[in-house]
């Protein structure tokens, strides 16, 4: 390597860290696929991944949360909705309240919450399959206001136990936050934004500039081995981008900004190039671009209503049809450029693309960032509307004919990069907890983070040397449910709560707790 290239490479790394001024490197202390702890470059062992109480290692069980997040504000809840819980990743930078991956019921009440350390965010929290079992998957790490992240992807079982982690194996590089997709082959598709010294003068930038190469990788989850590596720089020219580089040599040029990777019905890849307003169908074996849809270099003539801009979350739905979350704008919200979900059918033989249908929000929202859509089992479509100055974490569900049957706003007006409605049955390994926030209020709290089958809570009370007897019950109302202690039981020496299922059967019970200790607990 020449001395000049070494210098440029150093500048590239420094510049990315400067742009990402609030980023640390979770990958440096991340557990390996086998659960072992890697060593830093100087040979020392990095800080344990969960020293701060949030970042997890393989084998950790994430069921200790006591602090309950704010509920989702449900605005519309009509018949015709699909079944399933809500999976969201509320984001707040800087954080003014706890954030992290969260499961909520249809009424917006929290079922499970994994609190992250201050400054961390999570994305793409959902249910997927790994080794024939349903699992929870998500990315967590740090992000910048330029839309880049550095972090780790996690896989947890029904007991909320971390069973695997995924990151890029490329030395000195990190996994970005935009995609974590499991495949039937036991692999994961991920994105890594990698800085490269580059001559940007042909597109109006500095000759000794830095380009961000969007790299799509397929990783064997069990071994951490990289099985496929698609480099945007090898397949997409810089002049296909819709954005211009900065004249400053230390400002990396994120010319493509890949923000989703999907699998087409024939097994090939669908890659969304946000900064080129283009969807690329890519041969999964060779990496060659099969076709380009949208943007200034489309291989298809675009019919009326097809053109999209700054899109997110492209998915194949069959019959050469693709569902695209079309942000329709970038940076500013403009009337007539409302975000939408568009179903687009392509005809490779004729080189044409046509709009099949589209869905906008009744409030005609215009989201400049984020967003996604999900096909539900009953034919409905679930939409997360991204964020902008006006759009604050809105999620909705629509029937096939466009009727809105669900609409809600996320806690505290946060956005969620994507959101999903999915079926999940969680079985925490820990027992329920009995907590009291204020003894004078005569209210106790039944807390069981992640339990999905609790219908009611039953409070038992008794003397120090006698049997406990039921004194009251309350319907489940979030993983932290309050119960008022009746007057006749307020002199009890011992307390316990039992979790009941829909048939009234006891699922689990908290430890029997002296009332004085329960009163000292924190809620």
Q: At 75, list the tokens.
A: 């605005």
Q: At 167, list the tokens.
A: 């990151």
> Looking at residues 394-413, what average pLDDT do you find?
93
Q: What is the mean pLDDT of the chain?
A: 86
| pLDDT tens column, 138-172 | 999 998 777 788 999 999 999 999 999 999 999 99
Rounded CA gap, 513 and 94, in Å?
A: 38
Quick check: 215 pLDDT over 90? yes
Rounded CA gap, 510 and 423, in Å?
A: 26
SS3 for 113? strand
- In angstroms, how far apart are the furthest CA atoms of the chain? 85
Quick check: 27 pLDDT over 50? no
Quick check: 328 pLDDT over 90? yes
| pLDDT tens column, 101-148 | 999 999 999 999 999 988 899 999 999 999 999 999 999 999 877 778
12-26, 46-60, 189-203, 395-409: range with lowest mean pLDDT = 12-26
Reported as a pLDDT band with limits 50, 70 and 90, residue 334 is low
Rounded CA gap, 166 and 160, in Å?
A: 17
Residue 21: per-residue pLDDT: 30
Residue 147: per-residue pLDDT: 79
Reported as a pLDDT band with limits 50, 70 and 90, residue 66 is low
Rounded CA gap, 142 and 52, in Å?
A: 15
Residue 338: per-residue pLDDT: 92
| pLDDT tens column, 418-455 | 999 999 999 999 999 998 866 667 899 999 999 999 99
Residue 95: per-residue pLDDT: 63
Residue 268: per-residue pLDDT: 98
Report the percent of the chain where pLDDT is more than 70.
85
Answer with the residue of higher pLDDT: 22 or 56. 56
> Looking at residues 278-286, what average pLDDT do you find?
97
Residue 143: per-residue pLDDT: 86
Beta strands in 183-320 (DSSP E): 187-198, 209-220, 226-231, 258-263, 269-273, 278-282, 289-293, 301-302, 312-318
Reported as a pLDDT band with limits 50, 70 and 90, residue 329 is confident
Q: CB of 68 within 8 A of CB of 134?
A: no
> Looking at residues 228-240, what average pLDDT do you find?
98
Answer with the residue of higher pLDDT: 182 or 367. 182
Answer with the residue of higher pLDDT: 5 or 219. 219
Residue 17: per-residue pLDDT: 36
Answer with the residue of higher pLDDT: 14 or 137. 137
Reported as a pLDDT band with limits 50, 70 and 90, residue 219 is very high
> Looking at residues 57-69, what average pLDDT do you find?
77
Q: At 278, list the tokens.
A: 């283009």
Quick check: 7 pLDDT over 50? no
Residue 4: per-residue pLDDT: 37
Residue 438: per-residue pLDDT: 65
Contacts of 44 (CB under 8 A, 6+ apart): none
> Looking at residues 191-200, what average pLDDT do you find?
96
Comparing CA positions, the residue from 214, 195, 208 lying closest to residue 247 is: 208
Angle (CA) 471 473 477, round 5°: 150
Q: CB of 303 within 8 A of CB of 377?
A: no
Report the percent of the chain where pLDDT is more than 90.
71
HSE, side-chain direction, 13 A CA sphere, residue 378: 16
């Amino acid at each position: 390597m020449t001395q000049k290239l070494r210098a440029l490479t150093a500048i590239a790394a420094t510049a990315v860290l400067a742009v990402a001024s609030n980023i640390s490197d979770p990958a440096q202390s991340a557990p390996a696929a086998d659960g072992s702890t890697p060593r830093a470059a100087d040979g020392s062992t990095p800080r344990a991944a969960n020293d701060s109480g949030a970042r997890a290692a393989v084998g950790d069980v994430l069921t200790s949360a006591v602090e309950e997040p704010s509920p989702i504000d449900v605005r519309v809840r009509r018949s015709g909705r699909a079944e399933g819980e809500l999976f969201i990743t509320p984001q707040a930078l800087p954080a003014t309240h706890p954030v992290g991956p969260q499961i909520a019921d249809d009424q917006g009440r929290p079922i499970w919450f994994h609190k992250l350390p201050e400054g961390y965010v999570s994305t793409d929290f959902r249910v997927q399959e790994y080794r024939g079992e349903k699992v929870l998957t998500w990315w967590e790490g740090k992000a910048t206001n330029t839309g880049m992240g550095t972090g780790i992807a996690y896989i947890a079982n029904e007991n909320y136990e971390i069973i695997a982690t995924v990151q890029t194996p490329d030395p000195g590089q990190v996994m970005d936050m935009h995609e974590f997709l499991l495949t039937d082959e036991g692999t994961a598709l991920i994105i890594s934004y990698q800085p490269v010294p580059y001559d940007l003068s042909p597109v109006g930038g500095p000759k000794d500039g830095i380009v961000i190469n969007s790299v799509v990788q397929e990783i064997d989850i069990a071994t951490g081995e990289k099985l496929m590596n698609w480099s945007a720089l090898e397949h997409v020219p810089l002049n296909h981008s819709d954005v211009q580089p900065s004249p400053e040599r230390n400002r990396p040029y994120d010319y493509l900004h890949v923000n989703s990777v999907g699998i087409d019905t024939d097994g090939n890849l669908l890659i969304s190039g946000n900064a080129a307003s283009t969807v690329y169908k890519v041969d999964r074996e060779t990496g060659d671009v099969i076709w380009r849809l949208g943007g200034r270099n489309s291989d298809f003539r675009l019919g009326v209503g097809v053109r999209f801009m700054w899109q997110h979350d492209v998915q194949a739905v069959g019959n050469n049809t693709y569902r695209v979350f079309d942000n329709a704008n970038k940076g500013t919200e403009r009337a007539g450029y409302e975000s939408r979900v568009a179903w687009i059918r392509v005809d490779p033989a004729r080189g044409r693309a046509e709009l099949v249908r589209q869905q906008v929000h009744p409030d005609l929202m215009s989201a400049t960032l984020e967003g996604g859509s999900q096909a539900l089992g009953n034919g409905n479509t679930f939409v997360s509307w991204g964020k902008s100055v006006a759009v604050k974490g809105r999620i909705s569900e629509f029937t096939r004919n466009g009727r809105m049957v669900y609409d809600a706003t996320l806690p505290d007006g946060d956005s969620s990069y994507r959101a999903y409605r999915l079926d999940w049955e969680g079985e925490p390994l820990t027992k329920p907890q009995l907590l009291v926030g204020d003894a004078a209020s005569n209210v106790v709290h039944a807390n069981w983070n992640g339990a999905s089958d609790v219908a009611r809570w039953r409070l038992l009370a008794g003397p120090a040397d006698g049997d406990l007897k039921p004194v009251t019950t309350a319907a489940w109302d979030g993983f932290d449910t309050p119960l008022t202690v009746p007057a006749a039981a307020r002199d009890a020496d011992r307390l316990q709560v039992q979790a009941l299922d829909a048939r009234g059967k006891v699922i689990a019970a908290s430890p029997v707790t002296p009332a004085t200790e329960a009163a000292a607990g924190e809620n």
